Structure 1
């Protein structure tokens, strides 16, 4: 670096999943030749659960810690740090917030927009991981893998699972309904087709031509619930999809249906689930996400039959972390070179409204 070269200041705010070094290494690879001053911050997630911070959700660390780490940084590459309205107002040098997540839920996007700061995100970062995990939950529920393992370790040999009334169900020939057909849902459908499943999809934004080419059938939500022996959720949480599944439409499921949610807890109302399991309307429930994370000790589903639970692990692969860092660094590099950004949550700032 020559004495006349001014380094561009970047904050790499990672955690124990996407480590700051992943951001830093990816940015150096994406922006060779650029003089960079990369500062780092590590927030405590997932060692400590994320939660609301200020006016943002699913964040880790404090506003004060983030402001200290930011300093005069022009670009922030971030995973969980809380970019609240207060932080944005107190970061006059900041010109880009590049978030390494499928949606910038830890950023006050409205405040960033008012400040003229683009906020980018990383669509599809965990699509393969989440799709594989959903298939794993389906197989685990249909074939009683977790409960069989737990019982055998206690010395109980469940030979009665071979009895016809207790036997598992194959994905081959089974109708599986997918609620949501974005990056994750479409991969799940492809895998299910390979298993030989009949795949129904409910997604108002799905392209019918693409669905037909993929060999899936688009349906309304109620029809999907009536016809599907397995239902798996893959939608985003919006005002329209919050509690999309509830007591009334869950009652449409065939007797003994399996319900899988590895997307977002807010997509369904958890209150009716214990009774649906006890009545047999639900044959099994497989969850990676919850209405409260982590679930409290007195959570009713802890004692309900045929429930599989995992601690929000669907996206937890090394490839997801590396892919997210690379996509985020690509956006940071494009900003630093003055090139168009690709995945912008607030495109209205691109132009006259962008912070100079």
Structure 2
């Protein structure tokens, strides 16, 4: 019997990337693959129905899912309304690090297995973090801007304006998951003294690379701090005015994780006062950045538009991870990364 699959891509992970990966993962299983392209990132993602960080519309998805048993996508929404109109759907694979575009409770109630793709962009985000960290530590943002304006400032070589090296510097990482651990290994290889605050990390995972400390100790000792935590009720706003004030004067702060972790007004105040000598930010409290944002004029800051997780390799990795779940489904195997194990009759981990 032929399985109908919807490959719902966008301008980052093209529908054909999904379709080709699914066909490869399916082997000899008979498939019919339909392709659909959503407008992200040319049009920012956002809420669709009751889910967040989705692209497209409920009506578009309902129409595309008619007669479809399996869907692979990155930002396609899966809401209660979509599920109610898609009785043939059995497997929904989102190639995100988490199923933020899915109503998991509704999917479980409708008997739809939801899979996701953890670690798909860990390498890309770690490398981008290091890019911003190095740029902020050496003042690349301001010097680049001046040169583009035709201004050559020799005073950047003054002692008080010089940046800092990584070798011999204490760097604190808040979070030691797939991304933070990669950043830590690179920094350790560069000769940094790496401190980590992560209550969930196993002590042996840090051996020879970093040392686990409290957040207070990390902040007070680290000349550079980089955020790698997930956003939870406990971590929202975890780095605010008091935490930045606890860092050594002239420190550097980097955030390629989530905007909700940081008080950006406090960061701007610290950049303007010199408490922070530099900062590198890829994520923000409001995206796109509004025209009047203080971040656009704050000194010493290097900004990128939430692109840390974007590389050509990530697109291929994500497509393969999602397609692998389709292959397991077709072979009757248990999914490797199931977001709602209750649908399989298993307890939630």
Are 2:125 and 1:125 aligned? no
* Alignment check: 8 A CA contact 2:175 2:227 kept: yes
1: distance between equivalents of 2:219 and 2:125? 22
2: distance between equivalents of 1:25 and 1:235? 34
The one of 288, 292, 300 aligned to 1:294: 288
- What is residue 102 of structure 2 aligned with on the other side? 107
1:85-106 Cα shifts (integer Å, max 9, x gaps): 2112221111111110101101
2: distance between equivalents of 1:112 and 1:225? 42
- What is residue 265 of structure 2 aligned with on the other side? 271
1: distance between equivalents of 2:272 and 2:309? 30
Are 2:320 and 1:326 aligned? yes
- What is residue 3 of structure 1 aligned with on the other side? none
Cα deviation for residue 35 of structure 1 reads: 0.5
The RMSD of aligned alpha carbons is: 1.3
1:88-99 to 2 correspondences below 5 Å: 88-99=83-94
Runs of 4 or more consecutive aligned structure 1 residues displaced over 6 Å after TM superposition: none
- What is residue 337 of structure 2 aligned with on the other side? 343
The one of 4, 7, 29 aligned to 2:2: 7
TM-score, length basis structure 2: 0.97
The one of 32, 36, 43 aligned to 1:41: 36
Are 2:220 and 1:209 aligned? no
Cα deviation for residue 138 of structure 1 reads: 0.7
Are 2:219 and 1:225 aligned? yes
* Alignment check: 8 A CA contact 2:116 2:338 kept: yes
Change (3 A) 1:352 1:280: closer
* Alignment check: 8 A CA contact 2:177 2:228 kept: yes
1: distance between equivalents of 2:220 and 2:85? 52
Cα deviation for residue 319 of structure 1 reads: 0.2
2: distance between equivalents of 1:239 and 1:31? 40
SS at match of 2:6: strand
SS at match of 1:165: helix
1:291-316 Cα shifts (integer Å, max 9, x gaps): 01011111122222111111011011
- What is residue 236 of structure 1 aligned with on the other side? 230
SS at match of 2:268: helix
Unmatched tracts of structure 2, length 5 or more? none
* Alignment check: 8 A CA contact 2:65 2:86 kept: yes
- What is residue 50 of structure 1 aligned with on the other side? 45
1: distance between equivalents of 2:264 and 2:108? 35
Unmatched tracts of structure 1, length 5 or more? 1-5
- What is residue 298 of structure 2 aligned with on the other side? 304
Tell me which moved more, 232-241 or 193-202: 232-241
Are 2:165 and 1:170 aligned? yes
- What is residue 255 of structure 2 aligned with on the other side? 261
Tell me which moved more, 317-326 or 63-72: 63-72
SS at match of 2:199: coil
2: distance between equivalents of 1:352 and 1:131? 33
Cα deviation for residue 154 of structure 1 reads: 2.1
1:63-91 Cα shifts (integer Å, max 9, x gaps): 11111111121111010011112112221
Aligned residues: 347
TM-score, length basis structure 1: 0.95
Cα deviation for residue 352 of structure 1 reads: 7.8
SS at match of 1:40: strand
